[in-house]
Chains A and B, each alone.
Chain A
Amino acid sequence: MAHSMRINLKIWRQAGPDAPGRFETYAVEEANPHMSFLELLDVLNEQLIKEGKEPVEFDHDCREGICGSCGLVVNGVAHGPQKRTAVCQLHMRHYGDGDTIVVEPWRATAFPLIRDLVVDRSAFDRIMAAGGYVSVSTGNAPDANAVLISKVDAELAMDYASCIGCGASVAACPNASASLFTAAKVAQFAHLPQGHPERRRRVRSMVETMEAEGFGDCSNHAECEAVCPKGISISAIATMRREYMKAVLSGSD
């Protein structure tokens, strides 16, 4: 079997949104290079429960990098050191015996903390409800091949549509901006004919909601792109700005 290693963890603990938070130090003696980062936390939690201590709370679900539930800042980097990888698919072989790893939650005003490493990302849902859809009720659709879409546009739309809504971009941004998240949806639709009649209303409403939710502005640091587990390009933000300017200048819906 693969050799086991000792991993030291400094983890942010906080009982609730208004409770004081602090780092606690733990050690997992028998970490295995094949285990995932979340499995390391599972092992730690089993250990804590056996010691009569409260386990560390963190959000997780699919553990294959697609649901967007998990999100941890690992040694200062959202989702940890491996490029284009959500923390659930980060494996311990990237660490060595005796390493110390600092684990924190997403930190942003618009993502209030719930407990330990769990935050409330419902602001993302409200941005989507502000316009992240095509207004087409069930049953209204024409034949799927009635509208041609170039392969290039379809692929670009898909690049943006692959956003998993994890919130890493907000956590990594010095301004805690949700621009990459919002722009990914705006840019997806900007490349598709569907929803074209409502594109102006969409971008205005989504951008205004984003601001109202307490996310900061984008000032082109590109930290968001660097940590995005799906590698979504900040070109989305340029598209969003263009769409927004056009919408504002046109003055109408």
Chain B
Amino acid sequence: MAPVLDAKIPAGRLQDKWDNYKNSIKLVNPANKRKHTILVVGTGLAGGSAAATLAELGYNVKAFTILDSARRAHSIAAQGGINAAKNYPNDGDTIWRLFYDTIKGGDYRSREANVYRLAQVSNNIIDQCVAQGVPFAREYGGLLANRSFGGAQVERTFYARGQTGQQLLLGAYAAMSRQVAKGKIQMHTRSEMLDLVVIDGRARGIITRNLVTGEIERHLGDAVLLCTGGYGNVYYLSTNAKNCNVTAAWRAYRRGAYFGNPCFTQIHPTCIPVSGEYQSKLTLMSESLRNDGRVWVPKQPGDSRRPTEIPEEERDYFLERRYPSFGNLVPRDVASRNSKYVCDEGRGVGETQLAVYLDFADSIQRLGRNVIEERYGNLFEMYERITGENPYQVPMRIYPAVHYTMGGLWVDYELQSTIPGLFVLGEANFSDHGGNRLGASALMQGLADGYFVIPYSLGHYIAGSRIEAASTAHDAFEAAESEARGRIQKLLTIKGNRTVTEFHRDLGRIMWDNVGMSRTADGLRIAVDEIAALRDQFWQDVFVPGEPTTYNKNLEFAGRVADFLELGELMARDALIREESCGGHFREEFQSEDGEALRNDKDFTFVSAWQHNPDDIRKPTMHKEPLAFENVELTTRSYK
């Protein structure tokens, strides 16, 4: 019998819910905290902030990262900034407005109470980070600087050059380092979680593989926190780092945690296009470029002239044409989809014809090269480093790429999954961004979860639960370890004909073509079957070189691709049942006459939460968590 999906939203007015929650929870006595061990998997913004904060409170923390240092988690690559409702610029910002913009930006597919809490704690995050010595940008007077970002009419974004994620992560890493020195955090680097151990219905441990020696280890705890990021690499090519993967979350799903809204992915419009088959990842260019760049393609399909030879009247500035009021600044999903359409029409540019121009010629003429250089110099430099072209002279070529996954393991208000004692933080959970995430809000969510939410909800769980004594000799550990070993053994003994990368690339193609920017029921049905077939092929024909007992990158990747091959099918199923267009999920059958997204609030104002079926992975059960909007009115996003 499936547990009932209870989001555990506290009573009271929206503005009072978080306080009411904090007032009502059980606390753990300081002397008792040290009797509890918490396993934190992942050391990015969510995991790093959680590990440090819990250790400061007195818990014993074991932290795990697949990388060689906690400081390398992919949060480090976030460029733009972090939102907070400080209202330092006095331009009318409030907690309510940050909440409202975030929930609207998510196309009304997130929970009001969670998003409101996120906005409430946003200010504490900035205070905390500044106190840690994060060098945010400042004004000459010595106060913090703010800038504007997509989806908002106020300046509420704090930033550290184009390296905000790096600086925030190093802040959390420093806080962790302090606890490592105190012995409160035991750090396990190059250590990959291969399974979750559930004892008497509670998450009590994990099985890990030491990525240097291949040793399989058992770790027991009183609770497990998954802070393992997103699953964008299911598309093979994405802006995610190469090691980003779904394995920890997927193993938890297979142990009974529900997966929420898996089809909600964000495709970012301004990335450097693919240049060839060898392409291993995609590089994002900050969307701030669209403030001064004009997006265009030739009017004529197959026009192979150089961009500077195409006269003005033969260019189609398609975003300005279709969306006169927002122009080049339409939200990410709209910009991405329209770029795809013009390329589908044969009007794409560059060698692969899968790109559109982002042209700064007008801005350079109007403002002068020095102004453009001041604003975007580092981005132009990066573009030239990668493409060998000078964007001051020729237009940039850009194309959309998978960037972020709004979906993730389902959690309640306490960030607890459907497995008691398993908490999920940051991008790994589904919670706060609905169908589409606004810029500068991922960093906010990761740190909110880790610094300011989990210390309360975890304490409440520990204090209010009877967590029985257990040991790593328990049958559940035995079984999970033997399954993990079995999988590794199997991967190494297939000795087929195709490499892990070849399978991954094939999966990526199916996903991008059918579960990408624009989806149809037919395409999704094809994807469901093709992925299942590819999965069967993988388990018969993959070739994984090397040994299980050494550093072996191919073996690591093989396990992750195996899990992506299961996740991809679930994403396609989820996209298939969601018969509406909302946020990053666009179904071609559900659009207005002029091609805009048609949301269906009557039938689809819910979170889909998928439950694994141990008897047949191809027959998961979908549960619905209805979303109630008591404080905001559901409106249609229009950018015309």
Taking Cβ atoms with an 8 Å cutoff, the residues of A that contact B are 1-2, 15-16, 32-36, 38-39, 42-43, 46, 49-50, 52-55, 57, 59-64, 66-69, 82, 85, 89, 91, 93, 114-115, 118, 120-122, 124-125, 128-130, 132-145, 147-151, 154-155, 157-158, 161-162, 164-165, 188-189, 192, 194-195
Tell me if A138 and B178 are in contact (CB < 8 A): no
B157 interface contact, C-beta 8 A: no
Tell me if A1 and B181 are in contact (CB < 8 A): no
Inter-chain CA distance A54–B451, complex, in Å, is 43
Tell me if B280 and A120 are in contact (CB < 8 A): no
Inter-chain CA distance A2–B277, complex, in Å, is 12
Tell me if A68 and B177 are in contact (CB < 8 A): no
Tell me if B144 and A144 are in contact (CB < 8 A): yes
Tell me if B385 and A85 are in contact (CB < 8 A): yes
Inter-chain CA distance A57–B287, complex, in Å, is 34
Tell me if B189 and A118 are in contact (CB < 8 A): no
Tell me if B133 and A192 are in contact (CB < 8 A): yes
Contacts A62-B76, A138-B128 known; 16 new A-B pairs at CB < 8 A: A2-B351, A39-B279, A49-B543, A64-B284, A129-B180, A133-B177, A137-B53, A138-B52, A149-B138, A150-B142, A151-B142, A154-B135, A158-B135, A158-B160, A162-B166, A165-B71
B174 interface contact, C-beta 8 A: yes
Chain B, residues 282-313, CB within 8 Å of chain A (1/0): the string is 01100000000000000000000000000000
B163 interface contact, C-beta 8 A: yes
Residues of B within 8 A of A195 (CB): 133
Inter-chain CA distance A145–B77, complex, in Å, is 26
The residues in B between 539 and 562 inclusive whose CB is less than 8 angstroms from any CB of A are: 543, 545-546, 550-554
Tell me if B241 and A63 are in contact (CB < 8 A): yes
Q: Which 5 pairs of residues, A with B, have the shortest CB-CB distance?
A: A148-B142, A133-B174, A141-B131, A141-B127, A34-B275
Q: Contacting B72 at CB < 8 Å: which of A35, A61, A82, A145?
A: A61
Q: What is the distance, in angstroms, from A85's C-beta to the closest C-beta of chain B?
A: 6
Chain B, residues 48-72, CB within 8 Å of chain A (1/0): the string is 0100110010000000000111111
Residues of A within 8 A of B134 (CB): 161
Chain A residue at minimal CB-CB distance from B281: A63
20 interchain pairs, CB-CB under 8 A: A16-B550, A32-B278, A35-B279, A38-B280, A39-B279, A39-B280, A55-B546, A55-B554, A57-B551, A62-B74, A66-B166, A85-B385, A89-B386, A115-B551, A125-B180, A134-B133, A138-B49, A140-B131, A144-B136, A157-B133
Residues of A within 8 A of B126 (CB): 144
Q: What is the distance, in angstroms, from A193's C-beta to the closest C-beta of chain B?
A: 9
Q: What is the distance, in angstroms, from A158's C-beta to the closest C-beta of chain B?
A: 4
B605 interface contact, C-beta 8 A: no
Chain A residue at minimal CB-CB distance from B128: A141
Inter-chain CA distance A30–B472, complex, in Å, is 51
A188 and B127 in contact (CB under 8 A), knowing A132-B174, A148-B141?
A: no
Q: What is the distance, in angstroms, from B40's C-beta to the closest C-beta of chain A?
A: 14
Tell me if B139 and A125 are in contact (CB < 8 A): no
Q: What is the distance, in angstroms, from A179's C-beta to the closest C-beta of chain B?
A: 19
B570 interface contact, C-beta 8 A: no
Chain B residue at minimal CB-CB distance from A136: B131
A188 and B351 in contact (CB under 8 A), knowing A60-B242, A114-B551, A132-B177?
A: no
Tell me if A151 and B68 are in contact (CB < 8 A): no
Tell me if A69 and B68 are in contact (CB < 8 A): yes
Q: What is the distance, in angstroms, from B99's C-beta to the closest C-beta of chain A?
A: 20
Inter-chain CA distance A141–B275, complex, in Å, is 47
Tell me if B545 and A54 are in contact (CB < 8 A): yes
Q: Contacting A154 at CB < 8 Å: which of B127, B136, B546?
A: B136
Chain A residue at minimal CB-CB distance from B552: A57
Taking Cβ atoms with an 8 Å cutoff, the residues of B that contact A are 49, 52-53, 56, 67-72, 74, 76-77, 86, 88, 124, 126-144, 160-161, 163, 166-167, 170, 173-175, 177-178, 180-181, 187, 189, 212, 241-243, 275-276, 278-281, 283-284, 351, 382, 385-388, 451-452, 455, 499, 501-502, 543, 545-546, 550-554
Tell me if A42 and B280 are in contact (CB < 8 A): yes
Chain B residue at minimal CB-CB distance from A52: B545
Q: Contacting B545 at CB < 8 Å: which of A49, A59, A135?
A: A49
Q: What is the distance, in angstroms, from B225's C-beta to the closest C-beta of chain A?
A: 15
Residues of B within 8 A of A64 (CB): 77, 281, 283-284
Residues of B within 8 A of A39 (CB): 278-280
Q: What is the distance, in angstroms, from A194's C-beta to the closest C-beta of chain B?
A: 4
Tell me if A114 and B128 are in contact (CB < 8 A): no
Q: Contacting B127 at CB < 8 Å: which of A50, A137, A144?
A: A144
Inter-chain CA distance A42–B505, complex, in Å, is 13
Chain B residue at minimal CB-CB distance from A38: B280
Residues of A within 8 A of B56 (CB): 137-138
Residues of B within 8 A of A55 (CB): 545-546, 553-554
Residues of A within 8 A of B280 (CB): 36, 38-39, 42, 63
Q: Contacting A69 at CB < 8 Å: which of B72, B166, B276, B546?
A: B72
Residues of A within 8 A of B67 (CB): 61, 67, 69
Residues of B within 8 A of A158 (CB): 135, 137, 160-161, 167
Q: What is the distance, in angstroms, from B182's C-beta to the closest C-beta of chain A?
A: 9
Residues of B within 8 A of A62 (CB): 72, 74, 76-77, 241-242
Tell me if B385 and A89 are in contact (CB < 8 A): yes
Q: Contacting A161 at CB < 8 Å: which of B129, B167, B212?
A: B167
Residues of B within 8 A of A194 (CB): 130-133
Tell me if A134 and B181 are in contact (CB < 8 A): no
Inter-chain CA distance A188–B136, complex, in Å, is 12
Inter-chain CA distance A151–B143, complex, in Å, is 8
Tell me if B143 and A1 are in contact (CB < 8 A): no
Inter-chain CA distance A149–B137, complex, in Å, is 10
Interface centre among A49, A59, A121 (most CB of B within 10 A): A49
Inter-chain CA distance A188–B174, complex, in Å, is 13
Tell me if A148 and B501 are in contact (CB < 8 A): no
Tell me if A124 and B135 are in contact (CB < 8 A): no
A125 and B70 in contact (CB under 8 A), knowing A34-B276, A64-B77, A144-B127?
A: yes
Tell me if A136 and B132 are in contact (CB < 8 A): yes
Tell me if A67 and B76 are in contact (CB < 8 A): yes
A125 and B543 in contact (CB under 8 A), knowing A34-B275, A66-B76, A144-B126?
A: no
Residues of A within 8 A of B132 (CB): 133-134, 136, 194
Residues of A within 8 A of B351 (CB): 1-2
A135 and B138 in contact (CB under 8 A), knowing A120-B68, A145-B143?
A: no
Interface centre among B280, B388, B550 (most CB of A within 10 A): B280
Inter-chain CA distance A18–B279, complex, in Å, is 35
Tell me if A121 and B68 are in contact (CB < 8 A): yes
Q: What is the distance, in angstroms, from B30's C-beta to the closest C-beta of chain A?
A: 13
Q: Contacting A42 at CB < 8 Å: which of B143, B180, B189, B278?
A: B278
